[in-house]
Amino acid sequence: MIKNSSFDTSRYTSGPVRLNGGNGSTQTITADDQAAYGLAPNPDGSGATYTYTKTPISTFKLDNVWFSQQQPNSSPLNGATNVTLNNLRVAGQLVEYRSQFPLAPSGIGTLTSTFTDVNGQTQDVKAGALTNGDTWVGAWTGDQTKNNSSDLTLITRNTGVGLMGEQYTTGSGDGKLSYIQFPLNSLTRAPSQATLHLTYVGHRYSTVPSTDTDQLLVQPVSDTTCTGGGTSCPVNTMTGQNRPSFTATTASVAKSAAFTLGSTVIAEGGGTHQGNAVDGRDITVDITSFVQNAYAAGRSTLVLAVGNAGGTNHELRFVSSEGAAGSGKLTNGTADMAPGLTVTA
C-alpha cells in the first residue's frame, strides 16, 4: 500500500509507479545467473539451473496519492491479482473518470477504482472521460474575436439562423454556441452507450417564465474545418469568427429531453459570475453514435458543438471545467459538475 503520498511525475521518464508482477509464465534461472548475478539460488542447494512459475502480486493499493502530471504510458500497472486505486489526484484534481488515470492498468485480476464525492460518499470511478477543453463563442460584435476557454460557464443562445444558430455570421444578433472536447484514449472498445453530462447553472432574463422549456442540441464537429476558412480552430483559441464550420440538421443532431429554465437567473455581464447560484441539474444527451463513429475512425478526441433549440430570450449557462474545479472556480461549483462523458461497454 502507498497512502497519503505524492509524486512529482515530471521528474520521471519511467515510473514513478511500475508494477510488473508475475503473469504465470515460466522463469529460468541459470547456474551463471546464480553464481555471477546474485539471482536466487536453486532451492535444493545444488547451484544448478532451475525453473519456477512467475506468480502475480496478490494485492496492491494506492490510497490518497497525488500525481503532478498525467503520464500513464510511463507507469504500467500489471501482474497483480487485486488492485485498489482510491482518491487519486492528478494536478490537484480528483480522478473521477478513467481518462484521468495517471497509471496504465492492464491485465489486473480485479481492479477497484473509487473516489469520495462532495457528499462524502464513495463512488466508482466512471468509465468515460472528463472534458479536456471547453469554451463558448459569440456572434455579437463584442464577442466575435474573444476566446472564452477560461470562463467559468458555457453559454448557448440560438439566433434561429440554422438549426442551432450555427449559420449566423453577420448582423447585430447575440447568438452563442459552446464547444466541448473529450479525449477518447481511455476507450478500449466502441461503447454500447455514451452520454454527455452538463450541469445547468441558469438563464439570463428574469422576464422569461421559469416554466419555459428548452432542449440542448449537440453535434460532432471538426476543429480543422473552420468558419474563417482555415484548418485550425482548437478550443483554446476558438472565437466567433474562427470556429468549427458545420451545418446542423434534424438528422445530424442529438437532443436532450426538454427541461424547464427554472428560477435561477444569471444576468449578462458581471465578469466570471463566480458567486452565482447554480441550479445544479444534470442535463444529459445520448451521443452514443457520435462516440462509436469517432472510435471506429480511430480519433483520439471528440469535439462537440452544443446549442439550445431556442425560445425568445433563452440564453442558458452551464458549468465549465474551470467553473467546476480550481482556485478560481464558481463558489457554488463542485468537481462533479464539470462536463463529462460516461460510457457503457
Q: Is 102 exposed, middle or buried, given 0-12, 13-18 or 19+ CB atoms closer than 10 A? A: buried
Is residue 73 pLDDT above 80, yes or no? no
Who has greater pLDDT, 122 or 70? 122
* CA 267 vs CA 51, 173, 279, 315, 336: distances in Å: 73, 18, 14, 10, 24
Among candidate residues 297, 192, 178, the one with its CA nearest the CA of residue 240: 178
pLDDT tens for 180-197 read 999 998 898 999 999 999
Confidence of residue 272 (pLDDT cuts 50, 70, 90): low
pLDDT at 107: 80
Query: Residue 298: CB partners within 8 Å, gap ≥ 6?
Result: none
Backbone φ and ψ for 295, nearest 5 degrees, come out as: -65, -45
Which of the four pLDDT bands, split at 50, 70 and 90, describes residue 271? low
Cα–Cα dist 340/345, whole Å: 16
pTM for the whole structure: 0.88
pLDDT at residue 201 tops 80: yes
Q: Are 152 and 272 in contact (CB under 8 A)?
A: yes
Tens of pLDDT, residue by residue over 219-231, are 999 999 999 889 9
Average pLDDT of the residues in 310-335: 93
Give the amino acid at 89.
R
Band (pLDDT 50/70/90 cuts) for residue 202 is very high
pLDDT at 270 over 90: no
Is residue 256 a contact partner of residue 285, using CB atoms and an 8 Å limit? Answer: yes
Cα–Cα distance measured from residue 163 to residue 179, given in angstroms and rounded to the nearest whole number: 16
Q: pLDDT-derived band of residue 18, with 50, 70 and 90 as boundaries? A: confident
Q: Which of the four pLDDT bands, split at 50, 70 and 90, describes residue 21? A: confident
**What is the average per-residue pLDDT within 233-260?**
97
Q: So what's the pLDDT on residue 15? A: 74
Comparing 24-28, 179-183, 213-217, 245-249, which segment has the lowest mean pLDDT? 24-28
Rounded to the nearest integer, the mean pLDDT of the chain is 93
Is 269's pLDDT higher than 70? no
pLDDT confidence of 259, banded at 50, 70, 90?
A: very high
**Over residues 272-282, mean pLDDT:** 91
By DSSP bridging, strand 213-214 and strand 259-260 are: antiparallel
